[in-house]
A and B are shown apart, each in its own frame.
Chain A
Amino acid sequence: GAVVSQHPSRVICKSGTSVKIECRSLDFQATTMFWYRQFPKQSLMLMATSNEGSKATYEQGVEKDKFLINHASLTLSTLTVTSAHPEDSSFYICSARREGNTIYFGEGSWLTVV
């Protein structure tokens, strides 16, 4: 079964509003989680590294004020897309590293901004 879960799997929001996506590690604690976005027929693009109890580390070109990441607990990281616009519509995927083990990915979340 899934070890990393995302919610919601699909969300539609109006342009200008904010939307939050949750990423949970189900049976392990994850000090670090990663957020990716993926456009159709393209590879995953790393957006940021989410660190529990501290600020996220963003990749070059990713607006940290637009994509707010909070990692308040060892099992939950959230990505908030603020003031969303149609160009933010994408597939967002999170992942978490199980300590001493491999990285597992969530099921992904489709965001459509209308």
Chain B
Amino acid sequence: LAKTTQPISMDSYEGQEVNITCSHNNIATNDYITWYQQFPSQGPRFIIQGYKTKVTNEVASLFIPADRKSSTLSLPRVSLSDTAVYYCLVGDNTGFQKLVFGTGTRLLVSP
């Protein structure tokens, strides 16, 4: 299982763009990169998933360089409600590989 490394915490202000980078140096060929958001006392919520280059949806963008050894979750114009813990996970999307969580990044958005 590919291990991931993220910053423990980040601070931002409302309206700013936030970029959270995750390192996954031993990512395997079949592995996808998935980001989850977790609020206190709730289960993680799927944000975005990608394999390479750039993926964008209505809430975030995911940038993956050619070597795929890292990825960056980009949250445009964050609001107070984006304060949460963000987890980067790497795993095979076609099988039944278990997802092992790292420490996650605790994002605090201030007014």
Interface residues of A, Cβ cutoff 8 Å to B: 4, 6, 31-32, 34, 36, 43-46, 49, 91, 93, 95, 97, 100-108, 110
- Interface: B49 (CB within 8 A): yes
On whether the beta carbons of A31 and B46 are closer than 8 Å, the reply is no
On whether the beta carbons of A108 and B43 are closer than 8 Å, the reply is yes
- The complex places the Cα of A71 from the Cα of B43 at a distance, in Å, of 20
B83-104 CB contacts (< 8 Å) to partner A: 87, 93-94, 96, 98-104
B20-79 CB contacts (< 8 Å) to partner A: 34, 36, 41-46, 49
On whether the beta carbons of B43 and A49 are closer than 8 Å, the reply is no
Contacts of B45 in A (CB 8 A): 105
- The complex places the Cα of A32 from the Cα of B97 at a distance, in Å, of 9
Contacts of A46 in B (CB 8 A): 98-101
* Interchain Cβ contacts under 8 Å between A and B, 8 examples: A32-B96, A43-B87, A44-B87, A44-B101, A97-B96, A102-B34, A106-B43, A108-B43
Contacts of A44 in B (CB 8 A): 44, 87, 101
- The complex places the Cα of A107 from the Cα of B44 at a distance, in Å, of 8
On whether the beta carbons of A107 and B42 are closer than 8 Å, the reply is yes
- The complex places the Cα of A53 from the Cα of B106 at a distance, in Å, of 38
Chain B residue nearest to A100 (CB atoms) is: B94
Known contacts A46-B101, A105-B36, A31 near B44 by CB under 8 Å: no
Q: Which of A43, A45, A107, A108 has the most CB of B within 10 A?
A: A43
Contacts of B99 in A (CB 8 A): 34, 46, 95, 103
On whether the beta carbons of B96 and A93 are closer than 8 Å, the reply is no
- The complex places the Cα of A36 from the Cα of B100 at a distance, in Å, of 10
Min C-beta distance of B60 to chain A, whole Å: 14
Chain A residue nearest to B99 (CB atoms) is: A103
Contacts of A102 in B (CB 8 A): 34, 46, 49, 93
Partner of B41, one of A32, A91, A100, A106: A91
Contacts of A34 in B (CB 8 A): 98-99
